[in-house]
Chain A
Amino acid sequence: MRRIQSTIDILSPDYRTYERHNRNLAARLHECQRKARFERPERDVNRLRKQNKMMVQERIELLLDKGTPFLELSTLAANMAYNGTVPGAGLVSGIGIVNGREVLLMASDSSIKGGAWYPLTVKKMVRTTDIAIENRLPMVHLVDAAGAFLPLQSDLFADRYMAGRLFRNQCVLSAIGVKQVALVLGHSTAGGAYVPTLCDYSIMVRGAGGVFLGGPPLVKAATGEDVSADELGGADVHSTLSGTADYAVDNEQEGLALAREIVGTFPRLVKAAIERCEPEEPYYDTQELYGIIPEDIKKQFDMREVIARIVDGSRFHEFKPDYGTTIVCGYAYLYGWKIGLLGNNGVLFSDSANKCTQFMQICNRDRVPIIFLQNITGFMVGKEYEHGGITKNGAKMLMVQSNLDVPKLTVMTNGSFGAGNYAMCGRAFDARFLFSWPNSQISVMGMEQAAKTLSQLRIRSLERQGKKLSDEDILQIYEGIKQDYLEKSDAYHSTSELWDDGIIDPADTRKVLGIALSAALNRDFGETPNGVLRI
Chain B
Amino acid sequence: MHRRIELLNKFYEVTVSGSSERRLVRIGDATARPAALTGTDSAGWAIQMGEAQTPVRVKTKGEMIYIRAFGRTFELRIVNPVEQASQKSGGVRNRAKAPMPGVVVDIHVAEGEEIAKGQTMMTIESMKILTAIPAPRHGKVNKIHFMPGQSFEKGAVLVTLSSEEE
> Which residue numbers of A lie inside 8 Å of B, CB to CB?
2-3, 7, 283, 296, 298-300, 325-326, 346-347, 349, 377-378, 380-382, 446, 448-449
Would A300 and B118 be within 8 Å (CB), given that A3-B62, A346-B100 are in contact?
no
Q: Nearest residue in B to A326 (C-beta to C-beta)?
A: B99
Would A377 and B127 be within 8 Å (CB), given that A7-B134, A326-B100, A349-B100 are in contact?
yes
- Contact present for B118 and A7 (CB under 8 Å): yes
8 contacts between A and B (CB under 8 A): A298-B130, A299-B129, A325-B99, A326-B100, A346-B126, A346-B131, A377-B129, A448-B128
**A interface, over-half SS:** loop
Contacts of B126 in A (CB 8 A): 346-347
> Which residue numbers of B lie inside 8 Å of A, CB to CB?
62-63, 80, 82-83, 99-101, 117-118, 125-132, 134
- Cα A449 to Cα B129 with chains together (Å): 13
Would A2 and B80 be within 8 Å (CB), given that A7-B134, A346-B99, A346-B100 are in contact?
yes
Contacts of A298 in B (CB 8 A): 125, 128-130
- Cα A300 to Cα B102 with chains together (Å): 14
**Least CB distance, A414 to chain B, in whole angstroms:** 10
**7 smallest A-B Cβ distances: which pairs?**
A7-B118, A300-B131, A347-B127, A299-B130, A446-B128, A298-B130, A377-B127
Contact of A300 among B63, B80, B83, B130 (CB under 8 A): B130
- Contact present for A300 and B132 (CB under 8 Å): yes
**Least CB distance, B162 to chain A, in whole angstroms:** 21
- Cα A378 to Cα B118 with chains together (Å): 26
Contacts of A449 in B (CB 8 A): 128
Contacts of A378 in B (CB 8 A): 127
Contacts of B80 in A (CB 8 A): 2-3
Extra inter-chain contacts (18) besides given A3-B62, A325-B99, CB under 8 Å:
A2-B83, A3-B80, A7-B117, A7-B118, A296-B130, A298-B128, A299-B129, A299-B132, A300-B132, A326-B99, A346-B99, A347-B100, A347-B127, A349-B100, A382-B101, A446-B128, A448-B128, A449-B128
Q: Nearest residue in A to B83 (C-beta to C-beta)?
A: A2
Q: Nearest residue in A to B61 (C-beta to C-beta)?
A: A283
Contacts of A325 in B (CB 8 A): 99
- Cα A326 to Cα B100 with chains together (Å): 9
- Cα A347 to Cα B154 with chains together (Å): 12
A325, A347, A380, A449: which has the most chain B beta carbons within 10 Å? A347
**Least CB distance, B105 to chain A, in whole angstroms:** 10
Contacts of A299 in B (CB 8 A): 129-130, 132
- Contact present for B130 and A380 (CB under 8 Å): no
- Cα A3 to Cα B60 with chains together (Å): 14
**Least CB distance, B58 to chain A, in whole angstroms:** 16
**Least CB distance, B118 to chain A, in whole angstroms:** 4
